[in-house]
Amino acid sequence: MKEPLGIIAGTGFYSIAALKNPEVKVIETKYGQAQVTKGTWYDRTTYFLTRHGTKHSVPPHKVNYRANIQALVDLGVKDVLAVNVCGGIDQSVPIGGLQVVDDFIDFTKNRISTFFDGDEGVNHVDMTNPYNQELRNVLIKSCKNLNISVSDGGIYGGFEGPRFETKAEIQMAKQMGVTMVGMTGVPEVVLAVEKGLRYAAICIVANPAAGLSTEEITMEDVQKVVETSAAQVVQVLDEATKILAQ
């Protein structure tokens, strides 16, 4: 019997219809509460966690990332597939396009970004390969199996939010090699690695990052793109779950 699978998603992803016999649970951890939906997907116990709550009431800088990751650990999860909605810098990836990132740069300021703050001792965790290569390969293979275009590799730039980035911030990030920016991928990936989870993320480019379009960025426009892309991403997750169940 395989260990349970964890799915984490944010904007536009508040439930997954493919989960059989869904049951909402509130998990108590030493870092606070986390709400998950338990179900089965290809006969594998799966826990779905929506970062912002079912009504998108939790802003990115107030997500309890430690409680979320600890809850998955406590539930026996070993593999985590994450979905991030991002602003695109790499213009070779179209709006609505997908990218499976392989690195990140942390531009956040005020978040608790580690479990090792003294209470659990001190540990310096290697971040050479924060995104698990095997799970990345599964996501990429899933896209190819479905004839869905995907960009293999990229650098996620994690910003504090909840505001969008400035043009200057995007130009700075671009010079550092960042291909897309978001507000929730960090410290989530860091905490997952610290807890020994295998973690990979597939990112939706929902809008051009600031200064790369003549239009202002609005949540309404982001939501429209996510609504269009969400079904495709769920297809990818379904295919990935099927591959991992083999």
Q: What is the pLDDT of residues 151-196, one digit of tens each?
A: 999 999 999 999 999 999 999 999 999 999 999 999 999 999 999 9
d(CA 197, CA 175): 31
The 10s digit of each residue's pLDDT in 108-134 is 999 999 999 877 778 899 999 999 999
Backbone angles phi, psi at 123, to 5 degrees: -145, 135
- Confidence at residue 228, expressed as pLDDT on a 0 to 100 scale: 85
d(CA 130, CA 166): 27
**Longest C-alpha distance within the chain, in Å?**
52
Tell me: pLDDT of 54 over 80: no
- Confidence at residue 148, expressed as pLDDT on a 0 to 100 scale: 97
Count Cβ neighbours within 10 Å for each residue of 153-188 and write b for 16 or more, e otherwise: ebbbbbbebeebbeeebbbebbeeebbbbbbbbbbb
Count Cβ neighbours within 10 Å for each residue of 71-94 and write b for 16 or more, e otherwise: bbbebebebbbbbbbbbbbbeebe
pTM of this structure:
0.95
d(CA 65, CA 112): 8
Given a contact cutoff of 8 angstroms between Cβ atoms, the answer to whether 151 and 163 are in contact is no
Are β-strands 98-100 and 198-208 bridged in parallel, bridged antiparallel, or unpaired? antiparallel
The 10s digit of each residue's pLDDT in 206-224 is 999 999 988 888 888 888 8
Range of the domain at 196: 5-245
Backbone angles phi, psi at 224, to 5 degrees: -60, -45
Number of domains in the chain: 1
CATH number at residue 169: 3.40.50.1580
The 10s digit of each residue's pLDDT in 226-242 is 888 888 999 999 999 99
- Confidence at residue 122, expressed as pLDDT on a 0 to 100 scale: 81
